[in-house]
Amino acid sequence: MQAGSDSTTGLPHGPLGPTAAHLCIDMQTVFAERTDWHLPWLERVLPAVLRLARAHADHTIFTRFVPPERPEDMSGTWRRYYRRWRQMTLERLDPAMVELVPELAALVPPATVIDKRLYSPFVEPALRQHLRARHIDTLIVSGAETDVCVLATVLGAVDHGYRVILATDALCSASDRTHDALLTLYRERFSEQIEAAETAAILDAWSG
């Protein structure tokens, strides 16, 4: 079901320009350090994320997943979720853990940071306003996790009509199995709206 690649860019739907942005999801210290939410892959994919962010820092948006102060600050099943992960709420977690990993934090500004309380950043008006103000129509997605916050981000972007490009070597998860399954899903069921390519091919295709 995958569309045929453009021979000059390696991307099925053609090259990228100034209306593209790099949306990097939740590359934070809490996932890099030995916490209960540690992602062993994060260190491995960080060089690819850095390549994307450094190449177009002024077109890079970092999201941060910010837990509540306490479970009771959330509603519905999120309250149950944070009762399970109470040690990861802000009343117990070192606030420094919420920060971006230092290599990425150093790019802000010109890169932008948008905080979110839920999996998808599209629930935050600040993201939609930022994208509209910059006339962005294409999102290059990297970060964590392929099968949780990246999944929510990608589906939100599709619903809003953005062209979505997954940087496959700049994504990480706690699970090899579900990471692979989601990449298969993205490629086989969303080929008109989602493209998947490695960072080198994306950068080769991205001008402006």
In tens, the pLDDT along 52-79 reads 999 999 999 999 999 999 999 999 999 9
**For residue 193, pLDDT beyond 80:** yes
pLDDT per residue over 117-175, tens digit each? 999 999 999 999 999 999 999 999 999 999 999 999 999 999 999 999 999 999 999 99
Across residues 91-114, what is the average pLDDT? 97
Q: How high is the pLDDT of residue 67?
A: 97
Q: Are 94 and 127 in contact (CB under 8 A)?
A: no
pLDDT per residue over 3-45, tens digit each? 333 333 479 899 999 999 999 999 999 999 999 999 999 999 9
Across residues 182-195, what is the average pLDDT? 92
Report CA Rg, the chain: 17
Sheet holding 194-197, edge to edge: 112-116, 60-65, 20-25, 138-144, 163-172, 194-197
Q: How high is the pLDDT of residue 17?
A: 95
Q: How high is the pLDDT of residue 2?
A: 32
Torsion-angle region of 14 (φ positive above 0: left; ψ -120 to 50: alpha; else: beta): left
Residues forming a β-bridge with 206: 16
Residues forming a β-bridge with 194: 164
What class is the 20-68+101-205 domain?
alpha beta
DSSP secondary structure string, the chain?
A: -PPPPPTTTS-TT--B-TTEEEEEE--BHHHHSSSTT--TTHHHHHHHHHHHHHHTGGGEEEEEE---SSGGGS-THHHHHHHHTGGGSTTTS-GGGGSBPHHHHTTTTTSEEEEESSS-GGGSHHHHHHHHHTT--EEEEEEE-TTTHHHHHHHHHHHTT-EEEEEEEEEE-S-HHHHHHHHHHHHHH-TTTEEEE-HHHHHHHB--
- At position 200, the amino acid (one-letter code) is A
Q: Tokens 């619903």, residue?
A: 159
Q: How high is the pLDDT of residue 5?
A: 37
